[in-house]
C-alpha cells in the first residue's frame, strides 16, 4: 500500500473541510467509514488517495423516527445494526433481508450504510490494475466486453463499460422514495436516492452525482404500511458470502389477489441500482398469478444486452422477479409465510 495521510476530524463539518478533493495525480483524498471496500482497493493500488479522512468520531450512527413517521438513518449506521432495527425488520423486511443476505457477519458489523451504497464493482479487470479499464483508467478501453464477463451487467450497459453494481441494500432502498442527505464545502443538500447513481455511458469513471468533497451523512425515508409485504430474492453461486448473480427486491400493495401497486428493484444484473418501472406498471390492477409474475419478469428484462458469458442472467433475473412477486403475494402478514 502506498503512503497516505491519516486524518481524524471531530465532526462531519471538519471532515468535509479536511478531505482535500484536489489531491495529487488526479486522485483526491477519500473518506474512511467501515473501510471494507477502500482498503482492499488501496492494497491493490486501484485507488491511491493521498489522504484518508476517518469518519469514526463524527457520529451519524443512529436510526431515528420523527413524529411524522420519517426515518432518519445515519450514514455510519452499520449493516448489522440496520438489519436488526424493528423499523426495517418488522415494517419493511426487504430492507432488512437485503442486508442480511449481503457480505459476512464480520463485514456487516463494520460496513456502514453510507459506504454500502457506494461500493465499487467486482469487475475483475477493474481490480487487477493491469487490464484496460475505462472505469479505473478513462480512455484505456474495456477488457470485460470481449473478456470474462460472467458476473457483469446486462442492463444499463454502454460501449465503454458493462460493470455491474455489486450491492444489495441499494436495490431495496430504491423501492422507497428515500432521499440522501449530503454535506460538502458548498453546504448540505438532499438528493433523491434514485438519482444518486449514474449510468456509465461515456464516463464510467463517474458513478454517482456526488462531488469530490461531498459526504453522505444519512438517508430519510417513510415506510408505507404495505411495505410489510416485501422481500429480497438473491440468486448467487453459494448461499452465503457471495455477490448476487441476480436479485429482486419486491414490495406489493395488494387488494385481495389484485395488485394495487408493485415495486421491483433488480440487483446483480445492472450497472446501477435498478428499478423495473415498466414491469411495475404492467402489474398495476392485475391479478397476481404465475403467468402475470412471469410476464413481469420478462418485461423487467426487455432491452437486456447479454454478453458472451452472462446471458444466463436474463432468465435467472426473470425468475428471481417472478419468485419474488409470488412469494411476496403469499406472505401471511399475521405471521408466517403461507406454504
Ligand atoms: Fe472496466 Fe467497466 Fe470494462 Fe470492467 S466493465 S473492465 S470496470 S470499463
Residue from 137, 150, 204 to probe ligand 1 pocket by mutation (most atoms less than 8 Å from CB):
204
Task: Say what the pLDDT of residue 28 is.
Answer: 84
Task: Say what the pLDDT of residue 21 is.
Answer: 72
In this prediction, residues 274-289 reach a mean pLDDT of 98
Reported as a single tens digit per residue, the pLDDT across 49-80 is 999 999 999 999 999 999 999 999 999 999 99
Spacing, Cα 198 to ligand 1 middle (Å):
15
Looking at every residue in the chain, the average pLDDT score rounds to 94
Task: Say what the pLDDT of residue 336 is.
Answer: 46
- Could you tell me how many residues make up the chain? 339
Task: Say what the pLDDT of residue 20 is.
Answer: 77
Residue from 132, 144, 310 to probe ligand 1 pocket by mutation (most atoms less than 8 Å from CB):
144
Cα 64 to Cα 68, 87, 89, 228, 250, distances in angstroms: 12, 10, 15, 19, 24
Residue from 122, 132, 161, 207 to probe ligand 1 pocket by mutation (most atoms less than 8 Å from CB):
161
Task: Say what the pLDDT of residue 263 is.
Answer: 98
> Kind of pairing, strands 51-54 and 30-32?
parallel
Looking at residue 121, the DSSP 8-state letter turns out to be P
The better pLDDT of the pair 21, 222 is held by: 222
Task: Say what the pLDDT of residue 280 is.
Answer: 98
Contacts of 76 (CB under 8 A, 6+ apart): 33, 55, 58, 59, 60, 61, 112, 113, 114
Rg of the Cα atoms in the chain: 20
Ligand 1 residue neighbourhood (C-beta within 6 Å): 121, 123, 125-126, 133-135, 142-144, 152, 161-163, 204
Task: Report residue 327's pLDDT band, with 50, 70 and 90 as the boundaries.
Answer: very high
Task: Say what the pLDDT of residue 23 is.
Answer: 58
Distance CA 317, CA 262 (A): 17
Spacing, Cα 4 to ligand 1 middle (Å):
26
Spacing, Cα 207 to ligand 1 middle (Å):
12
Task: Report residue 337's pLDDT band, with 50, 70 and 90 as the boundaries.
Answer: very low
Task: Say what the pLDDT of residue 24 is.
Answer: 56
The residue whose C-alpha atom lies closest to atom 3 belonging to ligand 1 is 142
Percent of the chain with pLDDT over 90: 92
Spacing, Cα 162 to ligand 1 middle (Å):
6
- Name the helix (H) or strand (E) containing 64: strand 63-65
Residue from 163, 165, 271 to probe ligand 1 pocket by mutation (most atoms less than 8 Å from CB):
163
Spacing, Cα 14 to ligand 1 middle (Å):
34
Indicate which atom in ligand 1 lies nearest the CA of residue 149. 5
Spacing, Cα 27 to ligand 1 middle (Å):
19
Reported as a single tens digit per residue, the pLDDT across 1-47 is 788 999 999 999 999 998 877 655 557 899 999 999 999 999 999 99
Tell me which of 1-15, 81-95, 191-205, 297-311 is least confident.
1-15
Distance CA 49, CA 31 (A): 10
Task: Say what the pLDDT of residue 2 is.
Answer: 84
Q: Is the pLDDT of residue 221 over 50?
A: yes
Spacing, Cα 13 to ligand 1 middle (Å):
34
Task: Say what the pLDDT of residue 220 is.
Answer: 98
Task: Say what the pLDDT of residue 178 is.
Answer: 97
pTM of the model: 0.95
Amino acid at each position: 500500500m502506498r503512503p497516505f495521510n491519516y486524518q481524524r476530524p471531530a465532526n462531519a463539518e471538519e471532515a468535509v473541510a479536511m478531505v482535500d478533493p484536489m489531491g495529487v495525480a488526479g486522485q483526491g483524498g477519500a473518506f474512511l467509514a467501515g473501510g471494507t471496500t477502500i482498503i482492499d482497493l488501496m492494497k491493490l493500488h486501484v485507488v491511491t488517495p493521498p489522504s484518508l479522512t476517518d469518519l469514526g468520531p463524527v457520529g451519524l450512527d443512529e436510526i431515528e423516527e420523527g413524529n411524522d413517521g420519517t426515518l432518519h438513518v445515519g450514514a455510519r449506521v452499520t449493516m448489522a445494526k440496520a438489519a436488526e432495527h424493528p423499523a426495517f425488520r418488522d415494517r419493511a423486511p426487504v430492507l432488512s433481508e437485503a442486508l442480511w443476505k449481503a457480505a459476512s457477519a464480520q463485514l456487516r458489523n463494520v460496513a456502514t450504510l453510507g459506504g454500502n451504497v457506494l461500493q465499487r464493482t467486482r469487475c475483475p479487470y477493474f481490480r487487477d490494475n493491469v487490464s484496460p479499464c475505462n472505469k479505473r483508467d478513462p480512455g484505456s478501453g474495456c477488457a470485460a466486453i470481449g473478456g470474462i464477463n460472467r458476473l457483469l451487467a446486462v442492463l444499463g450497459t454502454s460501449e465503454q463499460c458493462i460493470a455491474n453494481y455489486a450491492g444489495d441494500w441499494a436495490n431495496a432502498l430504491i423501492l422507497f422514495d428515500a432521499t440522501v442527505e449530503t454535506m460538502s464545502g458548498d453546504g448540505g443538500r438532499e438528493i433523491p436516492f434514485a438519482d444518486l447513481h449514474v449510468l456509465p455511458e461515456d464516463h464510467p469513471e463517474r458513478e454517482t452525482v456526488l462531488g469530490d468533497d461531498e459526504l453522505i451523512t444519512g438517508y430519510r425515508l417513510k415506510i408505507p404500511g404495505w411495505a410489510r409485504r416485501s422481500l429480497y430474492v438473491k440468486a448467487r453461486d453459494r448461499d452465503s458470502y457471495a455477490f448476487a448473480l441476480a436479485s429482486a427486491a419486491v414490495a406489493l400493495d395488494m387488494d385481495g389477489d389484485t395488485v394495487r401497486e408493485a415495486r421491483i428493484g433488480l440487483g446483480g444484473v445492472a450497472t446501477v441500482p435498478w428499478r423495473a418501472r415498466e414491469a411495475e406498471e404492467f402489474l398495476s390492477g392485475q391479478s397476481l398469478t404465475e403467468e402475470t409474475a412471469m410476464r413481469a419478469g420478462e418485461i423487467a428484462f426487455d432491452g437486456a444486452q447479454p454478453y458472451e458469458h452472462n446471458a444466463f442472467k436474463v432468465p435467472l433475473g426473470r425468475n428471481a422477479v417472478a419468485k419474488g412477486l409470488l412469494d411476496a403475494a403469499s406472505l401471511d402478514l399475521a405471521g408466517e409465510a403461507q406454504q
